[in-house]
Amino acid sequence: MWLLSLLFVSVLLLCALVFLGLSFQHDLSSRALLFKILRRFGLEAKFLRTARFATPYQRLKNTSEPVHHPILLNLETSDGSGQATHPDVLYIPEGFGEGKWPYWMACTPYPYRDPRFENPEIFVSRDGVLWDVPDGLNNPLVPSLSKPPLDHHSDPDMVFHHGCLWLFYRQTVRSKTPHENKLFLIKSRDGVRWSQPVEALSDDTGRELLSPAVIHDGHQFLSWTVEIADAQFVIVRRSSLDGVTWSSAEKCKVTGLEAPRHPWHIDVTPESGRLSAVLVSCIGRGGGKSRIHYAFSDDQGLSWSTQGFLLDQCYEFEADVQYRGSLLPSQERAGEYDLWYSASCSRHFFSIAYVRLCRSHDRLLPLRGNAEQAVAAGKHS
């Protein structure tokens, strides 16, 4: 009997060695190899079939004809994933840095929602579509905190002021009780060498200090953050002369969001006679079901008007959420806008997309080939 047992064990070991050898030889996972072996003998094992990944531009079922035609950015993030979120883009007409780059973007890697890699990084471009890391720069600008994922960075926002890039970012420390949120400022005169972080704002009362959006109006800095006040998410505005010492918060009025949606992230762009914003709304806490709106203000950002969603959720890359965006009036095409926005697919793969828009009265509309088509669609909607 013991000879039969020994023979049986020997056969099992031999099968295991053959299985491992085939796995290495053909570079297959154990699951995939087992699936192929069973299939060879005519046995169906659908539960072993590798899940089919949809292409990013796959149109979702049961949705209207897509009206925006985005381009996904190919970014060389420091973690190697190419996944990024929370873009903030500046256009500097005369160019900046050694390469005289006109487009500068701050964003954070966010592979499959992993906050350990969510540290500010910088990319540059000549057309807003093809992006590089400037020569001499080692991303990320700020190292990870010592206790991830409880403690992490997020939400970068940039201002170009007095020939210098000013970059604000958020630091969350949940390893402390009560947990802290702080906004820090770093500066650079060439986009490659950056100053040491300076604390600009701090809170340990649970206000969160989400998604800082900062501009300079020619006289002072103005900032907007999404915060929790009286158990509600609200947009607040602050002012500063130096970007470090800020006034007390002023609660902003927001009209046009339908309950139960509330503000989640914001980016603000100065225009002639108004402020424009990419406003992200969500349901509940944590950014669930996030979608993008266009919002505008005629009173320096104390009140904001918005309507429905700016973009339909048309494609697989944005099937989960549409996240924080950055809007710029086009420098070359009058009446048009450039939008960069982050999104994640149903498998939580994060991307940054670029899309062109144009204005129709108080609405922004995605271009469908040319501005005249978009404006006509706005007049008849």
37 vs 138: which has the higher pLDDT: 138
State pTM to two decimals.
Answer: 0.84
Please, where are the H alpha helices in the chain? 2-26, 30-40, 371-379
pLDDT of residue 373: 43
Listed residue (331, 188, 341, 329) closest to 279, CA to CA: 341
Asked, for residue 242, whether it belongs to a domain, the answer is yes
Asked, for residue 64, whether it belongs to a domain, the answer is no
- Token digits of residue 11: 């056969």
Residues 205 and 353 occupy one common structural domain: yes
Residue 16: domain span: 2-48
First vs last Cα of the chain: how many Å apart? 83
Structural contact between residues 86 and 155, judged by C-beta atoms closer than 8 angstroms? yes
pLDDT digits (tens, 9 = 90+) for 149-200: 889 999 999 999 999 999 999 999 999 888 999 999 999 999 999 999 999 9
Residues 26 and 109 occupy one common structural domain: no
* Mean pLDDT across 201-225: 97
In angstroms, the CA 378 to CA 150 distance is 45
Give the three-class secondary structure for 48.
Answer: helix
Identity (one letter) of the amino acid at 22? L
pLDDT of residue 150: 87
Residues 113 and 35 occupy one common structural domain: no
pLDDT of residue 37: 63
Percent of the chain residues past pLDDT 90, beyond the cut:
72
Instruction: CATH number of the domain at 275, please.
Output: 2.115.10.20
Residues 32 and 179 occupy one common structural domain: no
377 vs 280: which has the higher pLDDT: 280
pLDDT of residue 66: 73
Residues 143 and 259 occupy one common structural domain: yes
Asked, for residue 63, whether it belongs to a domain, the answer is no
Structural contact between residues 125 and 105, judged by C-beta atoms closer than 8 angstroms? yes
pLDDT of residue 377: 42
Position 24 confidence tier, pLDDT thresholds 50, 70, 90: very low
In angstroms, the CA 365 to CA 359 distance is 6
Asked, for residue 131, whether it belongs to a domain, the answer is yes
In angstroms, the CA 78 to CA 92 distance is 25
C-alpha atoms less than 13 angstroms from C-alpha of 286 in its C-beta half-sphere: 3
Residues 133 and 92 occupy one common structural domain: yes
Residues 227 and 344 occupy one common structural domain: yes
Residues 218 and 263 occupy one common structural domain: yes
Asked, for residue 133, whether it belongs to a domain, the answer is yes
Asked, for residue 17, whether it belongs to a domain, the answer is yes
Asked, for residue 190, whether it belongs to a domain, the answer is yes
Asked, for residue 103, whether it belongs to a domain, the answer is yes
Residues 172 and 276 occupy one common structural domain: yes
Listed residue (343, 319, 280) closest to 60, CA to CA: 319
pLDDT digits (tens, 9 = 90+) for 304-319: 999 999 999 999 999 9
* Mean pLDDT across 225-234: 96
Residues 115 and 15 occupy one common structural domain: no
| Cα radius of gyration rounded to whole Å, the chain | 25
Domain count of the fold of the chain: 2
Residues 236 and 128 occupy one common structural domain: yes
Residues 356 and 270 occupy one common structural domain: yes
